[in-house]
Amino acid sequence: METPLTQHIVANRPPLSLKEYEQVGGYQSVRKVLKQMTPAEVTELVKASNLKGRGGAGFSTGMKWSFVPMDVPGPKYLICNADEMEPGTFKDRLLLEGNPHQLIEGMIVAAYAIQANVSYVFLRWAYKLAAHEITKAIQEAYDAGYLGKNILGTGFNLDMHLHTGVGRYICGEETALINALQGKRANPRAKPPFPQVSGLYGKPTIVNNVETLSCLPHIVNNGAEWFKGLSKSEDSGTKLYGVSGKVKRPGTWELPMGITVRELLEEYAGGMKDDVQFRGLLPGGASTDFLVEEHLDLKMDYPSITKAGSRMGTGTMIVLDDKTCPVGFVLNLQHFFAQESCGFCTPCRDGLPWVEKILLAMERGEGKPEHMNILEFHTQFLGPGNTFCALAPGAMEPLQSALKYFRADFERHITEHKCPWK
């Protein structure tokens, strides 16, 4: 099984230096695209590879690039979204700390494709080790001539900067990230215009995820068909999957796209701990709908998980066991989302604290029958199309699916006037 993204990452060992990275083929894709390919040819290659964004949306990377107008004057920008604030998600951290040169190489390829001359790594504030390693790697790339003016004598220029975020979940939304990068409040922007046309400082901008960008050197070096062949499904490539919760071996693994939920949970995460039983899981981080026993043989890819009524998201599942209260589980998530609302639109600003207040009342034994209807109302009122961005609809996904699959647990909190798990 090929693991291109993680093949040079070894636990408890520093990441490869630039010289070591070059010895295993590093920066060959930069030489190839700058000297042998046009920007349009790079975009078409990435389109043909069917690389989908690994940040959660699952949109075609090459298609996203193709929306950048190539004939407008002035600068274009490339931004790597390394904010990774989604609860339960830790896959990008492995790449950032374990092989930063792979990310930088991918960013040079992407910047060339869209003809961007300035790039940024927008990094989660808490990733201190990643910040250290990326800073070091960027300087090494400058010293070797892979960044800066006239890269490899080709006339292509690219500057790269590390920007550390202030620790807001909303910065993971690309337009809020752009506002934060400009020194503004991290509120999402209205779309259209989309960032590909008017992004950072009103100029064409592409925002891609760490894992997405890290795939690019391997696609350039090995071809679109090779990348497709890594997968077990219609979605191409490998994927960094993760599992957290009361399993025997929580962690993250690079596996073929389309591995089943059961394989990931039982073979790689080792199954549930001996004293608990499986009840459900969020397949792609905190803002996805629960899957349960009947879904264990689904492929972990974008269309299969969507068809089951959830989202693949980041591909990092959070597991619920039979000794953990589902109401308390969801309350913990709603507390996070309520705190992280930017406050721009009323449904999110006022609705999420209301949901949190009701769930907290249930946990305290103060739940009332009418609370069930209020929670159901919020899953609709804060749903898609009713808020300015996707934060509140994402927050409703674990709640609405918990009401579907674990409704009896919510009702017991009301009828028994206590949390049955306490």
Q: What is the pLDDT of residues 291-345, one digit of tens each?
A: 999 999 999 999 999 999 999 999 999 999 999 999 999 999 999 999 999 999 9
pLDDT at residue 72 in the model: 87
3-class SS of residue 372: helix
Domain 18-229 classified CATH 3.40.50.11540? yes
* Class of domain 326-415 as given by CATH: mainly alpha
b/e map 330-344, b = 16+ CB within 10 Å: bbbbbbbbbebbbeb
The ranges assigned to domains in the chain are 18-229, 238-321, 326-415
pLDDT at 19 over 90: yes
User: Residue 400 pLDDT > 90, yes or no?
Assistant: yes
| pLDDT at 33 > cutoff 90 | yes
Q: pLDDT value at position 167?
A: 81
Pick the CATH number of 238-321 from 3.10.20.600, 3.40.50.300, 3.40.50.1820, 1.10.10.60: 3.10.20.600
pLDDT tens digits, 276-290: 999 999 999 999 999
The mean pLDDT of the chain is 96
**pLDDT at site 282:** 97
Residue 56 has pLDDT above 90, yes or no: no
pTM: 0.95
343 DSSP 8-state letter: S
* Average pLDDT, integer, range 15-32: 97
Q: What are phi and psi of 384, to 5 degrees?
A: -55, 135
Q: What is the pLDDT of residue 403?
A: 98
Structure tokens at 317: 């599942």
Helices 370-381 and 391-405 pack at an angle, to 10 degrees, of 140
pLDDT in tens, 343-385: 999 999 999 999 999 999 999 999 999 999 999 999 999 999 9
Kindly list the strands in the beta sheet with 251-256, ordered across the sheet, starting from the edge strand earlier in the chain. Answer: 251-256, 238-244, 316-321, 278-282
Q: What percent of the chain has pLDDT over 90?
A: 94
Determine which helix (DSSP H) or strand (DSSP E) holds 255, and give its type and residue range: strand 251-256
* pLDDT score of 166: 84
Distance CA 272, CA 292 (A): 14
Tell me, what's the pLDDT at 109? 98
What confidence tier does 148 reach under pLDDT thresholds 50, 70, 90?
very high
The model's pLDDT over 79-110, given as tens digits with 9 standing for 90+, comes to 999 999 999 999 999 999 999 999 999 999 99
